[in-house]
Amino acid sequence: MHDFALAKLLLLALAVFSQAVLGKAIANPPPPGPAVVVRQAAGGAAATNPQSTIMSCGEYSRIANLSTVGKNSTYRATFFAASPEGNHYNAEVLDTAIARLPTVIMDKALNDACGNLTALALVEAERNFTQRTVLQFPNIPVPPPLTTGPVIAVVCLSIVFFCGSWVALP
């Protein structure tokens, strides 16, 4: 027989450590504070956020469009398939736009000057995709239909047969 003394000792140490950490967290709860923090001030949003003086409405529109395509997996995959550039470069551009979007959305001065271009980008991306266009690539080819018919039934039955025989092994 094997003796699991070391395992028991490690388990005991883990239990004591977790009790000490949880006991300290329960004994000293965080101070109550506001659950919602105001991020946009009416008076000094442009003064506290220097990005609003640098970014133009065109830049905001570009970030909104790229982040819309980058966040939607269907648009993103179609963009990767249609683009002659490499997927690594395209992914970097889309991911950078996604990372920059929250700061642009929270910039009150920019939103007051340009309007809500993120909502507009969502609507227009959907409209363009129904017309087989993603960003600057028009005439996206229609994907071939999925394979249906008896082939699917044969594949499913073979999977069930092989899995069933594997499960039935002693």
List the one residue out of 49, 81, 155, 64 whose CA is nearest residue 116.
64
| Alpha-carbon separation of residue 112 from 8, 124, 133, 140 (angstroms) | 63, 20, 29, 35
pLDDT at 154 over 90: yes
Tell me the sheet residues that pair with 137.
Answer: 134
Confidence category of residue 79, pLDDT binned at 50, 70, 90:
confident
pLDDT in tens, 87-131: 788 888 889 989 988 888 888 888 888 888 888 888 888 888 888
3-state secondary structure at position 33: coil
State the angle between helix axes of 57-71 and 73-82 in degrees (0 to 180), rounded to the nearest 10.
100
Asked if 72 and 62 touch (Cβ cutoff 8 Å), the reply is no
Query: How high is the pLDDT of residue 38?
Result: 56
Asked if 101 and 55 touch (Cβ cutoff 8 Å), the reply is no
pLDDT in tens, 41-60: 555 444 454 444 567 888 88
Query: How high is the pLDDT of residue 46?
Result: 46
H/E segment holding residue 97: helix 87-105
- Domain range annotation of the chain: 45-130
Q: What is the residue whose two structure tokens read 């970097």?
A: 92
Q: Is the pTM of this model over 0.75?
A: no
| Region class of 100: left (phi > 0), else alpha (psi between -120 and 50), else beta | alpha
